[in-house]
Structure 1
Amino acid sequence: MTQQGVRWTADQVLALAPDAPSRKAGSRLGVAGPWSEAGSSGEGAVWGLCKGSGSKPYQTVIDITGGADAAGPAYKCSCPSRKFPCKHALGLLLVWAGADGTVPDGEPPAWAEEWLASRRRRAEEKRGPAASPAAPVDPEAARKRAEKRAERIAAGATELEQRLSDLLRAGTATAEQAGYGLWEETAARMVDAQAPGLAARVRELGAIPSSGPGWPVRLLEECALLHLLDQGWLHRDALPPGLAATVRSRVGLPAPPEGPPLRDRWLVLAQYDTADSKLTTRRIWLYGTDSGRTALLLSYGAAGRAPALALPVGLALDAELAGYPGARQLRADLGEQFAAPAPTTERPPGVRTDEAAARYGEALRDDPWLESWPVTLREVIPAQAGGAWQLTDADGDSALPMAPAAASGPGLWRLVALSGGAPLTVFGECGHRGFTPLAAWPRDAGETVPLC
């Protein structure tokens, strides 16, 4: 750690939990009783022995800086859990965060130092010159592979256009009768065409007919966006470079980060997971205090496993980010970290609710497939109007409706309790379904309160 006296809060520690059961189990271990030989060092390491059901205690060590992996804190525990962090790592961090002397400063024991030293060696190797040059790339072969894939995607997009036309001619009622089968078969064709982005959007169409009243309108809207993406690919050579890069990304073509990395002091605004039967996706929102840039980190875990990347909400880290190509592209990769994440009371500057809606509209101009846009609202109050929740400007001139999922989740009541009728600063995602609050700050100086 850069300053060993600066420690995280319990909320920031629990934000690292891969799921609710881990959060609950880690909280039970966040007391001094189960721990022995616990300690921490000024280099960002925390370690301890936790009594378990066996004869030997579990050895737990945490590298708070992330070190060579540059993916947030790193964990090592001798327990058999496949979750990262496990409940023992969460419990140890909670004890450490308590700053009551249970985890004193000291030198790590041999078993902890061995793991920490191996991480330092990897960091040195990563910073040093490569052991051997990379194999030369045959540009002509790469060009031919890219052309062949582009042809397959074009054929898939053309076939998809025909299927959308058939749907419109037959009427949307046929989509309700066909069920998922129609769309699954079409999605499989897009996978064969090496267009995973098109396949994912096609699969989403299958759920719309069973989504409740008004589904035909929603189906037509999504079909229109899919048609627009098809046409964007088929006419990509005529698009501006930024929009063409966005189309390639939406279709599913991989692209590495481009340009020099940006070093900044990044505020960790929010972190949340979404999951399906095959994949867990973690989204982490960052804000650069010097650049004023908002960035999105994405990481993935196989079904049932949490993604490796985790950063405690409410902390700030001195690090480099490398951005991806594309118009209005927010996604970035986390590069080298120059210090351990540290608590902060800073917050991004906010805007009024009407300006937030305008910013989402401007972003749609460059990327019509955007579901939402990150924005910070200033001086807003959560309130009900006509039975629906919204965030209202303190002066009452305008408001943003809350997204249905956010208005029925536990984060709403935390937001309402934090406000108590007083204005707040709120960060979240503004989209066509409404505003989804992800973090909030009270009017007076205070730490970030996660809402997801």
Structure 2
Amino acid sequence: MNPQGERRTSDHVLALAPDAPSRKAGGRLATPGSWPETGTRGRAVWGLCKGNGSKPYRTVVDTAGPAFTCSCPSRKFPCKHALGLLLMWAGEEGAVTDGEPPVWVAEWLEARRRREEKKTSEADNSGAGPSGSSSTAGPEAARRRAALRARRIAAGATELEQRLEDLLRSGLATTDRGGHGTWDETAARMVDAQAPGLAARVRELGPTAASGPDWPSRLLAECSLIHLLDQAFLGIDGLPPALASTVRTRVGLTTDAAEVLAGPDTATVRDRWLVLAQQDAEEGMLTSRRIWLRGERTGRMALHLSFSGPDRALDLSLPRGLVLDADLAYYPGARPLRVVLGTRHADPAPVTGPPPGGGTDAALAAYGDALRDDPWLDAWPVVLTDVVPIPGRDGERWQLADADGESALPVDPRCAERAGLWRLTAISGGEPVTVFGECGHRGFVPLTTWGPEPVAL
């Protein structure tokens, strides 16, 4: 905790974005050159951002909510200016300096404070301590903020349930008539409710409607998963702790890496972790990095995820084919996968040969087993051993077939244009190979194969 409240990282900020274009636009604005004036004091961050007009846009963020206001005409919430300001603040220390809030900032904060006090007066009274006591002020304020956000998300989930009910009552066949605007407006309402995870799922409904054969069935399946997530959050107090953690993550409530490492219930796992793949993705001026690992002794899969801004380097670089003796702490959840890197016990070292794996049936079983714990899971990392790539012909999908020809996995159609599939075919030469990737409901996404050395796909 610092004077500004809970410090947010770049991945926290990106989780608030209403869509991918907003993340990219916010990344482009996360530079001092875009902001002739910025400042921070307490839990407030503000700035003047250059726009197309003669006057700069006035942007303020209350990091305790978070809550946003901006004088720009954007209907997205938060807008790209708020995202850019937050990304710059969350990046390099000192990029936004401490200062006295201008009048326009102070007035907005004061109005927000009055509204907040009115909503939480009952909680404030029940949590008041003896006069002059401040030993629990920080934790108590954090508890009240968390309770307030939980109520907002619950209200958003209740509203979303009503919209899904209206959709089913009017019939899925009429869904495409409203275009994407209806879903974008609903997603914006979920952002207002501080539930970015729900907002992201709602946005996926627009492209699904009228998107090819059997789209009503696919739309109904997506609506069912959203309904399940709504109901899970509304009844979260009755869920097992691990599943409750998964539900919180799915609606968009994040956990700080420092909290994961220092949590009272955290148990780190020491192993020799083989780096299966590392992928960087550019999103405007932002870069995301995903590193997949597998424990040599435990066989557990792990994903290290980080983001960088213009003034902040990525947390970790581990090229595939290395092995790292380290402690990893898993984020809480019913099927933990994402991790925080703890103590390193040795420098990364090269390892020869591919990791052990299984066939396509085992991959499907692994995904199904993970799906049982987390029904909103899109894919699960697996290692396929002795599979042969089979190119798709005449519009058919690529496949990875077991060497014995008994079973095969279709390749995710989103990979059809990737050169990596032909690279995999060339390395295989028609012979069985080992492939690491993600197995999900859309198919298999190959990420790494092993020839003389591991090769990215």
User: Does the 8 Å contact 1:381/1:394 carry over to 2?
Assistant: yes
User: Does the 8 Å contact 1:268/1:313 carry over to 2?
Assistant: yes
Q: Does 1:310 align with 2:317?
A: yes
User: Does the 8 Å contact 2:353/2:450 carry over to 1?
Assistant: no
CA shift, 1:317, in A, is 2.0
SS of the residue aligned with 1:175?
helix
Q: Does 1:423 align with 2:423?
A: no
Structure 1 residue corresponding to 2:402, chosen from 390, 393, 406: 393
- Structure 2 distance, partners of 1:244, 1:176, is 34
CA shift, 1:408, in A, is 2.8
In the alignment, which residue of structure 1 is the partner of 2:243? 243
CA shift, 1:321, in A, is 1.4
Structure 2 residue corresponding to 1:266, chosen from 243, 263, 273: 273
User: Does the 8 Å contact 1:314/1:449 carry over to 2?
Assistant: no
Q: Does 1:294 align with 2:294?
A: no
Q: Does 1:402 align with 2:411?
A: yes
* Equivalent AA in structure 2 for residue 251 of structure 1: V
CA shift, 1:310, in A, is 2.8
Change (3 A) 1:137 1:367: farther
Q: Does 1:437 align with 2:446?
A: yes
- Structure 1 distance, partners of 2:342, 2:193, is 33
CA shift, 1:346, in A, is 4.1
* Equivalent AA in structure 2 for residue 216 of structure 1: P
- Structure 2 distance, partners of 1:262, 1:379, is 29
Q: Does 1:282 align with 2:289?
A: yes
Deviations 1:268-294, CA, capped at 9 Å, x for gaps: 111224565696432210111122211
Q: Does 1:213 align with 2:222?
A: no
* Equivalent AA in structure 2 for residue 159 of structure 1: E
- Structure 1 distance, partners of 2:446, 2:209, is 28
CA shift, 1:250, in A, is 0.4
In the alignment, which residue of structure 2 is the partner of 1:323? 330
In the alignment, which residue of structure 1 is the partner of 2:343? 336
In the alignment, which residue of structure 1 is the partner of 2:364? 357
Q: How does 1:11-410 map to 2 (within 5 A)?
A: 138-209=138-209, 211-255=211-255, 256-257=259-260, 258=263, 259-274=266-281, 280-302=287-309, 307-384=314-391, 387-410=396-419
Change (3 A) 1:277 1:211: farther
User: Does the 8 Å contact 1:280/1:303 carry over to 2?
Assistant: no
- Structure 2 distance, partners of 1:216, 1:280, is 35
User: Does the 8 Å contact 2:290/2:306 carry over to 1?
Assistant: yes
TM-score by length of 1: 0.65
CA shift, 1:210, in A, is 5.8
CA shift, 1:193, in A, is 1.1
Gaps of 5+ in 1: 1-134
User: Does the 8 Å contact 1:344/1:447 carry over to 2?
Assistant: no
In the alignment, which residue of structure 2 is the partner of 1:77? none
* Equivalent AA in structure 2 for residue 147 of structure 1: A
SS of the residue aligned with 2:398?
strand
- Structure 2 distance, partners of 1:419, 1:137, is 62
CA shift, 1:377, in A, is 0.9
- Structure 1 distance, partners of 2:306, 2:414, is 23
SS of the residue aligned with 1:213?
coil
**Number of residue equivalences:** 314
